[in-house]
């Protein structure tokens, strides 16, 4: 279903964020706000997939994340690396986007 999103052989994809979201999802809105300055973000709206075949969607996400215990939205990836939901993404993003000014060195 979604494996096409991640082509592990392409260097171009390693810096892209991919966010699986739902409408009416507070944490999805928060992660969109967090990543708004990023140029390479793909958002995949999942309402339809859950409605059409919930079991297949969950199975696919379990395969992509390799963390079947993660069952809430959003599902956030950087490249093919699964970060987690909003809380994990916020920590990851802040850790990897530290802004230093010249006085720090």
User: Domain-by-domain residue ranges, the chain?
Assistant: 15-104
> Which pLDDT band, with edges at 50, 70 and 90, does 17 fall under?
very high
Q: Residue 101 pLDDT > 80, yes or no? A: no
In the CATH hierarchy, which fold is given to the domain comprising 15-104? Glutaredoxin (3.40.30)
Could you tell me if 83 and 20 are in contact, meaning their C-beta atoms sit under 8 angstroms apart?
no
| Predicted pLDDT of residue 105 | 45
Q: Residue 102 pLDDT > 50, yes or no? A: no
Instruction: List, for residues 26-51, the tens digit of each pLDDT value.
Output: 999 999 999 999 988 999 999 999 99
Average pLDDT over residues 3-8: 55
Closest to 74 (Cα-Cα) out of 8, 66, 65? 65
Average pLDDT over residues 12-31: 91
């Amino acid at each position: 279903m979604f494996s096409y999103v991640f082509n592990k052989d392409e260097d171009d994809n390693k810096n892209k964020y991919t966010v699986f979201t739902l409408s009416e999802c507070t944490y999805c809105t928060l992660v969109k706000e967090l990543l708004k300055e990023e140029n390479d973000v793909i958002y995949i709206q999942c309402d339809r997939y859950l409605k059409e075949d919930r079991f297949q969607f969950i199975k696919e996400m379990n395969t992509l994340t390799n963390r079947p215990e993660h069952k809430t939205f959003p599902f956030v990836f950087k490249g093919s690396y699964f970060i987690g939901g909003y809380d994990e993404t916020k920590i990851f993003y802040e850790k990897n986007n530290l802004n230093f000014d010249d006085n720090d060195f």
